[in-house]
Chains A and B, each alone.
Chain A
Amino acid sequence: SQQGEEDPQALSIQEGENATMNCSYKTSINNLQWYRQNSGRGLVHLILIRSNEREKHSGRLRVTLDTSKKSSSLLITASRAADTASYFCATDKGAGGQNFVFGPGTRLSVLP
């Protein structure tokens, strides 16, 4: 089973609206990251949030982390057509393992 799972699987919004994507995970973590992927190729790192942080901002991105609920959310404000992509959360495995585990992703479509 996935360590991280994004919700919803697909999201379609109008340009200018906000987009919220959620990620749930199962085991304790040290860090959680969000990535964007365009056209099924390389992923681009967006933001990393540590387990002792609750919220981080980067430009139009806002990430929250609730370790008690084992969940994170990614908010993109004032969306643009160029934000159309798949978004993945990635979690480490806390005390075990060195690699990050990726969820299946949320496919975001921003309509002009």
Chain B
Amino acid sequence: GAGVSQSPSNKVTEKGKDVELRCDPISGHTALYWYRQSLGQGLEFLIYFQGNSAPDKSGLPSDRFSAERTGGSVSTLTIQRTQQEDSAVYLCASSFPDRVRGYTFGSGTRLTVV
């Protein structure tokens, strides 16, 4: 597609429920990243996928968070047993592997845990 597409754009969930966030990167971008941004804060790195290599999961805050990328394209970020502190905007970005043209970000999913 023309840009990075994320869905849903907004998600309100009850504490304890599981949620799935989807990211559809730009065609041809082999690198895909998930970041989290709390209100008024900077971006917190979560996970990075590059081609068929093992993902860099070093930023995932707990084992309730997981992500997969099927077929080297669409990625799903799953948060199990959501907590109120999970409330944030979850941003997905993709890039060419050399990254020199920068990341292209999606518009994000605003997650609110009530």
Tell me if A98 and B48 are in contact (CB < 8 A): yes
A44 at the interface (CB under 8 A from B): yes
Asked if B33 lies at the interface with its beta carbon under 8 angstroms from chain A, I say yes
**Tally of contact residues, B, Cβ under 8 A:** 28
In the complex, whether A33 has a CB less than 8 A from a CB of chain B is yes
Number of cross-chain contacts by CB at 8 Å = 62
| CB-nearest residue of chain B to A5 | B42
* Cα(A43)–Cα(B37), bound, Å: 11
How many residues on A have C-beta within 8 angstroms of the other chain's C-beta atoms? 24
Cβ–Cβ < 8 Å partners of B33 in chain A: 99
A103 and B42 form a contact (CB under 8 A): yes
What residue of chain B has the Cβ atom nearest to residue A39's Cβ?
Answer: B107
User: In the complex the two chains form, is A88's CB within 8 Å of B104's CB?
Assistant: no
Contact across chains for B41 and A104 when beta carbons are under 8 A apart? yes
Instruction: State whether A40 touches B48 (Cβ < 8 A).
Output: no
Known A-B contacts A99-B48, A104-B42; the reply to A41 vs B89 at CB < 8 A is: yes
Query: How far in angstroms is the closest Cβ of chain B from A105?
Result: 6
Binding site for A on B (CB under 8 A): 4, 31, 33, 35, 37, 39, 41-43, 45, 48, 50, 56, 58-59, 89, 91, 93, 99-108
Given contacts A88-B43, A98-B50, A102-B35, 18 further A-B contacts (CB under 8 A): A31-B100, A41-B107, A42-B105, A43-B93, A43-B103, A43-B105, A45-B101, A45-B102, A45-B104, A48-B100, A48-B102, A97-B56, A97-B58, A98-B48, A99-B45, A99-B56, A100-B103, A105-B42
